[in-house]
A and B are shown apart, each in its own frame.
Chain A
């Protein structure tokens, strides 16, 4: 969610403003000292996060904000069964997770998109062997404000809306309002998935890049001309209770073909709902020990039950076998699918 960076603008103002007129010196010094102290403390925080990743009694998981809640649920139940394992789950976006895996700062990178060619290239040069385990299926829901008269959209129109080719709701049979687009930031796997699969082009420059799914939902709830996309898990996580001020659109393959709602599980399981994607856990090379146990747990029967409880969909039998082949392991523990 948050990204810690060194903010040059801030630092230099502290330092320069230590030279200040005598009357204001006291007050300025107090403000400056506090800010410097906070700066120093947070830089310690950053450095202390960067210890090595080899000891696998501690498992670190980082990445996709879409997956962060389900990963947390998996981690919690796994830790209950195995008390001497400690798993830390953080978000930050798929890109952030993959970057962390490439620099050896995390054991598992959660990603809601496959790795990009340049990421694979960078992995090769730094001697990382990324291995993708699919542990759930996600559907993306397209949401608008409650008062929007539209109920269905075709994939084609959806793409045109987000590339900016259609910029008014009037072009889609709605009121004469300029469409306001909401999406995630470029470190989000959802941002990239949507761009590659639905748009096949760049987003309109007017796209508002929000800092998280919750903020997209929050913003569209108050914007009568808004449209955005969110992982289905985020919506159904609240016990199927959608926020009352938003509406989920039905999506159809093309004009004239039937439209399906992502809120109907059967439509997703049968892949009739068109915007579905796999959720990945990337690891470096064939894992062993606790790390392997955790991955097997998350694709096993119990883990898949948790995935479903969190609003996502279980993986298919083929995906399960492919995972096992990749992990170079046969699931002997009870609970194979």
Chain B
């Protein structure tokens, strides 16, 4: 039996359509699972206490507290700190690799960065406790360095490879004619990079930053090990923080199924999901505005 070109076409269309819809279905089922289980928490916990409560201590000696604000603030603090470090460093490295690096240096740097993307988070967390935290304590004259800064620094390290690899691709994808035109007008390589190449690659670079941020936002093990997990509301980068991911990881294993504590962890997951969804939608909008606009 002979398969005609049309049949192959149709088959391929079905396969790809299924694959596409499958990811939508998986995404929706995860979200609805989180919402469904999370909603059950509000049978016993007041939504006001959950969304506006400052303290998180569900297994308290006295009255349990289910306030998510300190968790959200911790997560955002660590992620923001990580991005402050990783974005300039990452884009700078990507620009160097794509535009300036000699072939030999490039061949050395690129695999090292790719290799770094594969370091397990538990190893990064361990380095955070034994190396980075004492270093931070020493530099800033603190008693210990198990704080948000430590987490931000480690998460920056972990999201750097993603940012560098994706941003480099974006910069390389700028048509060479753009740069040639700039050189022809007498611009220096630095000026060309700053005023032509980077703006032209902006939507891809934003994508890189958002991917990196997603990595930082969802990272669990490293922050769980290296930020101290104190439940007090953090006052800044030198305070110990307890992120949403770490809270879920620490507590989900020990909570009895069907309790308010169990369901409230799903609610925390749903909020985290909502945060990264919002960030993704906003960045998609920004990326679209930058596209084709040079």
Contacts and interface: CB of A to CB of B under 8 A. Distances in A.
Given A9-B276, A13-B215, A215-B225, A3 B250 contact: yes
Interface stretch (B7-15, B57-65, B178-186, B188-196): B57-65
Given A9-B245, A202-B61, A2 B256 contact: no
B250 A187 contact: yes
Interface in A108-122: 118-119, 122
Contact of A208 (B146, B162, B168, B255): B146
Contacts, number: 197
B204 interface: yes
B129 A9 contact: no
B273 A12 contact: yes
Q: Which of A27, A195, A226 has the most CB of B within 10 A?
A: A27
B101 interface: no
Given A93-B254, A225-B143, A21 B203 contact: yes
Interface string B273-293: 101110010001001000100
A95 B166 CA distance: 42
B220 A5 contact: yes
Interface in B177-219: 201, 203-204, 207-208, 210-211, 214-215, 217-219
Contact of B57 (A30, A119, A202): A202
A219 B220 contact: no
A15 B211 CA distance: 11
A211 interface: yes
Contact of B207 (A15, A28, A99, A226): A28
Contacts of A11: 27, 30, 218
A60 to B, nearest CB: 15
A222 B270 CA distance: 37
B253 interface: yes
Contact of A28 (B211, B221, B228, B248): B211
Given A7-B245, A10-B214, A180-B144, 12 more contacts: A10-B219, A13-B218, A15-B23, A17-B211, A21-B207, A27-B169, A31-B165, A122-B256, A207-B231, A208-B230, A209-B229, A209-B250
Contact of A96 (B174, B254, B269): B254
Interface in B224-274: 224-225, 228-233, 240, 242, 244-245, 248-259, 269-270, 272-273
Nearest to B165: A27
A308 interface: no
Nearest to B257: A103
Interface of A: 2-3, 5-13, 15-24, 26-28, 30-31, 92-93, 95-96, 98-99, 102-103, 118-119, 122, 177-178, 180, 185-187, 195-196, 199-202, 204-211, 215, 218-219, 222-226
26 contacts: A7-B245, A9-B244, A9-B245, A11-B218, A13-B214, A13-B217, A15-B23, A16-B277, A17-B211, A24-B166, A27-B169, A28-B211, A31-B162, A92-B253, A99-B256, A102-B256, A180-B143, A186-B59, A186-B251, A195-B61, A202-B57, A205-B55, A205-B232, A206-B230, A219-B133, A224-B143
Nearest to B262: A99
A210 B250 CA distance: 10
Contacts of A178: 143
A8 B250 contact: no
A226 B250 contact: no
Contacts of A201: 61-62
Contacts of B117: 31
A175 to B, nearest CB: 11
B280 A222 contact: no
Nearest to A195: B61
B144 A12 contact: no
B34 interface: yes
Contacts of B291: 21
Contacts of B146: 208, 219
Given A13-B280, A21-B287, A31-B162, A187 B169 contact: no
A31 B250 contact: no
B269 A8 contact: yes
B290 to A, nearest CB: 10
A226 to B, nearest CB: 7
Contact of A9 (B26, B214, B254): B214
A116 B166 CA distance: 50
Given A5-B249, A9-B273, A205 B254 contact: no
B161 to A, nearest CB: 9
Interface string B130-162: 100110010000011010000000000000001
Given A5-B248, A9-B276, A211-B224, A222 B169 contact: no
B78 interface: no
Contacts of B280: 12-13, 16-17
Nearest to B117: A31
Contacts of A13: 211, 214-215, 217-218, 276, 280
A180 B217 CA distance: 27
Contacts of B215: 10, 13
B122 interface: yes
Contacts of B251: 186-187
A168 to B, nearest CB: 12
A177 B280 CA distance: 44
Interface string B119-131: 0001000000110
Contacts of B60: 202
